[in-house]
Amino acid sequence: MSLLFSIPFQFLAVAAETEAADSSLVLAGILLSLVVVYFASKLGGELCVRLNLPPVLGELVGGVVVGTSVLSLLVFSESGATADNSLIIKFLELTSSLTPDTAESVFIAQSEVISALSELGVIILLFEIGLESDLKELIRVGPKAAVVAVVGVVTPFVLGTLGLVYLFHVPLIPSIFAGAALTATSIGITAKVLAEIGRLSSQEGQIIIGAAVLDDVLGIIVLAVVSSLVKTGEIQISKVIFLIISAAAFTIGAIVLGRFLGPILVRLMDNMQTRGKVLLVSLIFAFILSYIAQVIQLEAILGSFAAGLVLAETSKQAELEEQIIPVADLFVPLFFVCVGAQTDLSVLNPAIPENRAGLAIAAFLIVVAIFGKVVTGFAVFGKEQLNRLAIGVGMIPRGEVGLVFAGVGAASGALDPATQTAIIMMVIITTFLAPPLLRVVFEKDQPSVTLAENPQEPSS
């Protein structure tokens, strides 16, 4: 009949339909995997919070610990692992009726479902980032933020790409990918660090937040462009222009169309009476845009980000943001833990000669990542008293988007394991360094212009 439920399939197994027997065990495997993912994400997150580091870092490190590098609890058939590599499958064999015969099919199905949940996780993450972004805020903090954002995207991208090509003789496509991964500041990490040191509403803080918002948008476009380049396997200027136009047209089209659709969706929600109307109407919109973005060769995440931006402009933003938080809490850790779980840290072992190139690349990327953002503050025009160093340092932490690049790059085969791990090292190091560095550069002087302290605690 159907696979909807688990128990029946033990019955069907009795009825000698062996393949159906898996479903009950697949569900058990999924439940165990979810327990491992959530345990790793919370343990890592809590440890990082106590070390005054962003929780997202802990989720990533937690993923590394439960993943292929250490415990092998969470491994993926798509990464070439088999049931024999999975400690969860071994545990299932011990505790349930799973036999070695059926282990492989259970492993593949469970691995497929967790991967799909992780993909939905990054779609929902970008929806939430879109919902928390504010084009108007960017316009208000104005041209200064734009200069910081553009310089902070172009400098590390150009230096990183050229450096990898000419200093490390890395092929062009992985170099572009790694360069692109250097571009996007983590708005969540940045805002949280600024709030922790009480500078969120200083002029520097406002410029940093504005630039980080624009950075997010630029990062998405860069990711879409670079991903599309990876798809074609070569760089054609006409193709690049086409992709930039198509990415921009999609985003602008979605937002312009959204200006009309937004009020219609709000009116629809207001006329509805069932539970979950705001959340589900919004997600229908987000999933349709994600689907369109996906089939026109862009990224599904660009669609959900655009949907978030559109809905951020409506009167439902606050209600929706409140409702998306538990949903994101549930889905997003799957993404970060799975990214960590697939990181093979053994490529960074300096005892193995061929790994030294990876460490050198990591060191280079970290230097470029820091330098490329620190210069942004000094690029700001005007003669105002600004703590320009603080602006640059505030842009240092990379985060979600950098990890997205690492994951997409690794998944596409565009990045070799050493470069992928170097990017993740770069994300980890910049994120580690930013909080103490920001404290130092802000302590050097008093706030130049202090606006009313914003009491709202940003979510990471």
> Which of positions 268-287 make contact with a copy of itself (CB under 8 A)?
272-277, 279-281, 283-284, 287
Q: How far is the CB of 299 from a copy of itself (least distance, A)?
A: 6
Concatenated DSSP letters for 115-158? HHHHHHHHHHHHHHHHHH--HHHHHHHHHHHHHHHHHHHHHHHH
Q: How far is the CB of 272 from a copy of itself (least distance, A)?
A: 6
Concatenated DSSP letters for 187-243? HHHHHHHHHHTT-TTBHHHHHHHHHHHHHHHHHHHHHHHHHHHHHHTS--HHHHHHH
Q: Does 248 bind a copy of itself (CB under 8 A)?
A: no
Q: Does 231 bind a copy of itself (CB under 8 A)?
A: yes
3-state SS, 212-225, equals: HHHHHHHHHHHHHH
Choices 15-23, 130-138, 241-249, 307-315 (CB under 8 A): range interacting with a copy of itself:
15-23
Number of shown-chain residues binding a copy of itself (CB under 8 A): 99
- What torsion, rounded to 10 degrees, do the Cα atoms 36, 67, 399, 243 define? -110
Contacts of a copy of itself in 160-199 (CB under 8 A) = none
Contacts of a copy of itself in 120-159 (CB under 8 A) = 120, 122
Q: Which is nearer to a copy of itself, 85 or 96 (CB)?
A: 96
Q: Which is nearer to a copy of itself, 33 or 387 (CB)?
A: 33
- What torsion, rounded to 10 degrees, do the Cα atoms 381, 386, 388, 391 define? -100
Q: Which residues pair with 202 in a beta bridge?
A: 450
Q: How far is the CB of 139 from a copy of itself (least distance, A)?
A: 29
Q: How far is the CB of 383 from a copy of itself (least distance, A)?
A: 41
Contacts of a copy of itself in 77-116 (CB under 8 A) = 77-79, 95-96, 109, 111-113, 115-116
Choices 36-44, 133-141, 356-364, 424-432 (CB under 8 A): range interacting with a copy of itself:
36-44
Q: Which is nearer to a copy of itself, 207 or 415 (CB)?
A: 415
3-state SS, 376-398, equals: HHHCCCCCCCCCHHHHHHHCCCE
Q: Does 267 bind a copy of itself (CB under 8 A)?
A: no
Concatenated DSSP letters for 314-343? STTHHHHHHHHHHHHHHHHHHHHHHHHHT-
Choices 27-35, 130-138, 238-246, 345-353 (CB under 8 A): range interacting with a copy of itself:
27-35
Q: Which of 18, 49, 165, 197 binds a copy of itself (CB under 8 A)?
A: 49
Q: Which is nearer to a copy of itself, 85 or 323 (CB)?
A: 323
Query: Each residue of 36-50: b (16+ CB within 10 Å) or e?
Result: bbbebbebbbeebee
Contacts of a copy of itself in 285-314 (CB under 8 A) = 287-288, 290-291, 294-295, 297, 299-300
Q: How far is the CB of 175 from a copy of itself (least distance, A)?
A: 16
Q: Which residue has the tokens 């470029």?
A: 368
